[in-house]
Structure 1
Amino acid sequence: MDLHYLKLFHIVATNLSFSKTATQLHISQPAISMQIKKLEDDLGMPLFDRLGRNIYLNGHGKLLYEYTSKIFHLVEEAENKIQEMEDKIWGSLFIGCTNAPSIYVMPEIISQYRSLYPLVRVHLHLGNTYDIHNLMKLNQIDFAIIGGTIPDHPNIRSHKIWEDQVVLVASPENPLVDSGAPTRDQLLDQNIIAHDYQSKLYELAELIYKDLTLPFQPAMLIGSVETMKYLVAENHGIAILPYIAVKRELKDGRLKEIKFSNRNWQYDYHIVYHKNKETVPSMTRLIYLVEQYFKANKERLLYTE
């Protein structure tokens, strides 16, 4: 079997998409389809089920994918060993990240990292906590930055890098802003804008409303923190969001915090990795930069009332 075709198959099987693979590799979708067809012809068996516009690995494809995963893991391991011998930092790094840190933390860190280690190919996967957790269990990412609590798993290790707060925010035009501590009836009259229900932000918002003895019945479920902020600023409702995500808007007045006495809700960030994952220099250097970022920017990121 030609290693080139195996590599192409492995990428398509990982993406489960010819179009996504074409964009990733900068080659045409028909060219990818032809090469996959040639591999299937050489093997004498189909590898994918094609249902409408979607593709899925069949039994033969799943078996081959198990082996290609081992093959290219060994190739990457060999590259990393050679990298260590040459005292250069290069290779590929696959990072998972939940919504808030991916937008408000990682771009600055990755920019710094790429300036220091331009030979490393950085792949940042954005998803909710459960998506990232599953990718880690499948060994498809090297480590992750996750907001909120971490699901228990015997093979997953984590350590906290930042203690953030969550705040209830509203538009400056919302009457709650000027009413002091909001009453129960005032809060019941408000539309709730919540994050995607599979996210830790959704779970935390649900717990906060329970703490306030209020029903949690979102009027909108939004998968993007930026979209949530826009809708709140336009006075379509109120939302619970991490301080790191709204500190700029609170400072310039586009959003206002609704405060409660004697209540403090925490939203932590963690570095998460598989306990059996072999660490390589490209990974340890980026984890170090993440940790240093939070230490160096403590005053800027810290919640202030």
Structure 2
Amino acid sequence: MEIRQLKIFVTVAEEKSFTRAAQIMGYAQSNITTQVRLLEEEFNTRLFERLGKRIALTPDGEKLLHHAQRLLQYAFEVKEAMTSSREPNGILNIGIAESLCIFKLPTLLKEYSRIYPQVKLVIRQGTPLDFARWLRENVIDVAFSLDQLINDDDLIAKTLCEEPMIIVGNDEHPLIAKGCMELKDIAQESFIYTERNCSYRSVIENYLADSKIKPGSSYEFDSIEAIKQFVLSGLGIALLPYAAVEKELSAGNMVDLRLIEPKIEMYSQIVYHKNKWLSPSLLSLLDLVNEYF
């Protein structure tokens, strides 16, 4: 098994085509086919099902793809560590929570790209569970997570700041007249949830379950912008980071309904794996984050 063979295998798997893989890699298609066949012979298994002109990974192919991607990333890191200068360069894969990506980090990332234009930033939005898995699998180099304080033996997490969480309604919501709201008030409301595995959704669901409270009805969206539009339309209330609704609150068309308790504590944190090689590109990002926070 050679690195070149794994690159060919991964390219074929990603493109789902021997022909396109050959074009991308600049090889004859017969060479691509031969290298995949040699891998299949070495592992004594079929890696692809060939269905006419279409191909698909077999279960063993899926397994090899997972490990091959990690091996190729490690090989890239070794090469970069041994041959690159101290100047940041290459690709930096970053996981970012949606609310931080849209409302908190654009200025920092813009400044990073201005200072280090030779570094390509690849952004992946996800949840804290996604980030933990991606960091362990080396899919991303670092994550900006919005979560309760992270305590994971495999991960290094630095708290950047606390992110205030509020329950919001539109400017005509009846709860405004109360001046504040209690958790039990949600039983009479339509509650708009973020996607499953979102950290603050899990927290509010746990509080509601502990208090045996169910919303009158509910919606679920994986987009904060969609949630805000539903709130503004009077279709429900939602728990969101203050930073995500700051403009609407200032404009007066959305209102903090002032949940008395419990206090929902969320923190912006930068996270990377304890065994991650801190490349010049990653180190420079960590340094810039320290300046901003």
After TM superposition, the score normalised by the length of structure 2 is 0.81
Q: Say which SS state the counterpart of residue 188 (structure 1) adopts.
A: helix
Q: Say which SS state the counterpart of residue 219 (structure 1) adopts.
A: strand
Deviation of 1:81 (Å): 3.8
- CA separation in 2, counterparts of 1:147 and 1:131? 12
Structure 1 residue 76 corresponds to structure 2 residue 77? yes
- CA separation in 1, counterparts of 2:65 and 2:168? 50
Q: Which amino acid aligns with 2:79?
A: A
Aligned length: 281
Q: Judge which range, 228-237 or 259-268, deviates more.
A: 259-268
Q: Say which SS state the counterpart of residue 136 (structure 1) adopts.
A: helix
- Mapping of residues 131-170 of structure 1, within 5 Å: 131-149=130-148, 153-170=152-169
- CA separation in 2, counterparts of 1:292 and 1:218? 44
- CA separation in 2, counterparts of 1:79 and 1:184? 53
Structure 1 residue 239 corresponds to structure 2 residue 238? yes
Q: Which amino acid aligns with 1:48?
A: F
CA displacement 1:55-87 (0-9 Å, x = unmatched) = 445425634663563244223332244333xx4
CA contact (8 A) 1:194 1:218 kept: no
CA contact (8 A) 2:164 2:265 kept: yes
Structure 1 residue 95 corresponds to structure 2 residue 82? no
CA pair 88-225 structure 1, distance change in 2 beyond 3 A:
same
CA contact (8 A) 1:210 1:216 kept: no
Match of 2:36 in 1: 43
Q: Say which SS state the counterpart of residue 236 (structure 1) adopts.
A: coil
After TM superposition, the score normalised by the length of structure 1 is 0.78
CA pair 184-82 structure 1, distance change in 2 beyond 3 A:
closer
- CA separation in 2, counterparts of 1:278 and 1:243? 34
Q: Say which SS state the counterpart of residue 84 (structure 2) adopts.
A: helix
CA contact (8 A) 2:154 2:273 kept: yes
Match of 2:285 in 1: 286
- CA separation in 2, counterparts of 1:130 and 1:139? 14
Stretches of structure 1 lacking an aligned partner (at least 5 in a row): 20-27, 296-305
Structure 1 residue 274 corresponds to structure 2 residue 273? yes
- Mapping of residues 15-54 of structure 1, within 5 Å: 17-18=14-15, 31-32=20-21, 38=30, 39-44=32-37, 45=40, 46-49=46-49
Q: Which amino acid aligns with 1:59?
A: D
Deviation of 1:30 (Å): 6.0
Q: Which amino acid aligns with 2:116?
A: Y
Match of 1:209 in 2: 208
Match of 2:123 in 1: 124
Deviation of 1:106 (Å): 2.7
CA pair 63-205 structure 1, distance change in 2 beyond 3 A:
same
CA displacement 1:160-196 (0-9 Å, x = unmatched) = 1111111000011222223323467754221000111
CA pair 65-198 structure 1, distance change in 2 beyond 3 A:
closer
- CA separation in 2, counterparts of 1:75 and 1:262? 49
Stretches of structure 2 lacking an aligned partner (at least 5 in a row): 41-45
Q: Which amino acid aligns with 1:43?
A: V
CA pair 35-74 structure 1, distance change in 2 beyond 3 A:
closer
Q: Which amino acid aligns with 1:69?
A: R
Percent of pairs with identical residues = 25
Q: Which amino acid aligns with 2:48?
A: F
Q: Say which SS state the counterpart of residue 278 (structure 2) adopts.
A: coil
* RMSD of aligned residue pairs (Cα, Å): 3.3
